[in-house]
Amino acid sequence: MKLIIVENYEEISKLAAINIKDVINKNPNAILGLATGGTPLGTYKELIKMNKENEIDFSKVTTVNLDEYIGLSERNTQSYRYFMNENLFNHVNIKKENTFIPNGLAKDIQEETNNYDKKIDELGGIDIQILGIGTNGHIAFNEPSDFLISGTHLTDLTQSTINANSRFFNSIDEVPKTAITMGLGQIMKSKKILLLAHGENKAEVIKEVLSGNITSKNPATMLQMHKDVTIIVDRTIGDLIKITDI
């Protein structure tokens, strides 16, 4: 694992966007694995800027997102499809038909999750996967548990994730309790992974990810088994995790 400590959130976003740009410029047909949440917003802003300045061309790029809430339509402003359209897809020259997000309204969820994995495999796998991290170590919606699931699946959200994500909703009661998420096995198949984190509330969990221990109680610790993971954090986290202690 490679850890890069930069000054602040803006620098995390710029560096993440440069990494994505490099992948696309080497392979215009690249498959990007994308995330939602507050963390990647700055990266998406940078990508939009690069696209407007003709530094990246999304016309042949395909994207697959990590997860989607159950029960929210793409017109619901809290759905991850809406989020991605609003914060990236509507502002770059990507073809919407090349953007994939699990369908949280699918009648047959089992079929939807199977097809999602099949789709990713058919595309040839993810070239670069962007990840945020929950304060409990969840990545995508792979929550701490006694065991982790490899493929895309339906999952219950933990109370801590419901609480954390309620900041995007009018009230906590509106936060869906279930979601479709790519599983850890599928995420681990990505050729390259970028994990982004900033702010003191993520320090403890990042320290665990770098600890050398792997536990399903912090799903992100699994990433230690991947051969090309870069973690980019801000100075706040860098100072709090005191690298020399690890």
Q: Which residues bind ligand GLP (CB under 6 A)?
A: 35-39, 66-67, 132-134, 140-141, 161, 165
What is the three-class DSSP state of 196?
Answer: strand
Residue whose CB is less far from ligand GLP, 13 or 39: 39
CB of 74 to ligand GLP, least distance (A): 17
Residue whose CB is less far from ligand GLP, 93 or 178: 178
Contacts of 26 (CB under 8 A, 6+ apart): none
Residue whose CB is less far from ligand GLP, 93 or 224: 224
CB of 227 to ligand GLP, least distance (A): 22
72-92 in b/e form (b: 16+ CB < 10 A) is bebebeebbbbbbbebbbebb
Q: How many CB atoms lie within 10 A of CB 236?
A: 19
Residues known to be catalytic:
67, 136, 138, 143
CB of 80 to ligand GLP, least distance (A): 8
Q: What's the token pair of residue 204?
A: 């403890």
Alpha carbon of residue 226 to chain centroid: 16
